[in-house]
Amino acid sequence: MNCQHGLLLFDKPAGLTSNAALQRVKRLLGIKKAGHTGSLDPVATGLLVLLFGEATKVSDYILNADKSYRATLRLGQTTTTGDSEGEILEERPVAVSEEQVRMILPRFSGVIAQVPPMYSAIKQGGKPLYELARKGLEVERAARQVRIDALDLILLDGDCLVLDVRCSKGTYIRSLAADIGAALGCGAHVNGLRRTSTGPFDITQALTLEALADVLGREECPLKAMDLALEYLPAVTLTENTAYYLRQGQGVVVAHTPASLGRIRLYGPMGQFLGLGEVMDDGKVAPRRLMSVN
């Protein structure tokens, strides 16, 4: 594959913002055009999907993907930020059993309403909430619907509660932790967070900074094919003729076009990924997001 275009599955260490991690990897790869999909707080670790070159064109499909986390909650303390970076607001004694935890977890499964934390990038009045929070201000936030597909108890040891969470885009684990702490009557904040999956990608596939440097030292390409993020979409293969007209912006008739309308993956006669198209009402395939990789 062309090692200027593709996905890098990166295991972000604690202490780096997602953007700082991206900039460090960009320098290692020497690729200017890049982006990341789904920020992780500096204290969080785990899977950060980085996009390079033409792969940035599929960013929305990864941003909107479901994600999984292993969250470590500190029971008995609430903080200003909802995690261990904030100042302690309140401390309460902890006398929680596994049975109590298992009883309340179903309340937070399925589609739930969640109030975003003040320390978030959501904008209100044109300003990110975290800017207001840093000034000591707290404003009313509208609850948002999110989806929790799995919420599993892994460990309860005194004031340490470890949960595995699989959830939709837009879920705030800090808000989830605060709500769980409130339901248990003792309060809680996130003491550790690791993203373990994003869409079809798993943390076991990810490279640390050290592993990435080792791969580059062997002069191997660490990037994965960009269409791996889109495998849930149906695919069609174009002839050389239909691929030409599609690249000119024209709708084309393609054999074995999916019956349902919507986005599809497009491949050339040699199997090369051409980009995204859309099946229209008339059955033709129209170009939507084409790649300019030779």
CA atoms within 13 A on the CB side of 222: 28
Just list the catalytic residues.
41
Model confidence band, residue 1 (pLDDT cutoffs 50, 70, 90) = low
pTM above 0.85? yes
pLDDT, the chain, mean: 91
Element (H, E) at 132: helix 129-134
Q: Which residue has 């594959």 as its token pair?
A: 1
Work out the end-to-end distance of the chain between its first and last CA atoms, rounded to an integer number of angstroms: 11
Model confidence band, residue 258 (pLDDT cutoffs 50, 70, 90) = confident
CA–CA gap between residue 32 and residue 230 (Å, rounded): 23
In the chain, the amino acid numbered 43 is V
Model confidence band, residue 257 (pLDDT cutoffs 50, 70, 90) = confident
- In degrees, rounded to 5, the angle at the alpha carbon of residue 258 between the alpha carbons of residues 257 and 263 is 100
Name 151's Cβ contacts closer than 8 Å, sequence gap at least 6: 105, 108, 109, 163, 164, 165, 166
pLDDT digits (tens, 9 = 90+) for 213-235: 999 999 999 999 999 999 999 99
Q: Which residue has 């949960």 as its token pair?
A: 163
Hey, what are 2's tokens?
A: 């062309």
pLDDT digits (tens, 9 = 90+) for 75-127: 999 999 899 988 999 999 999 999 999 999 999 999 999 987 766 666 666 66
Name 126's Cβ contacts closer than 8 Å, sequence gap at least 6: none
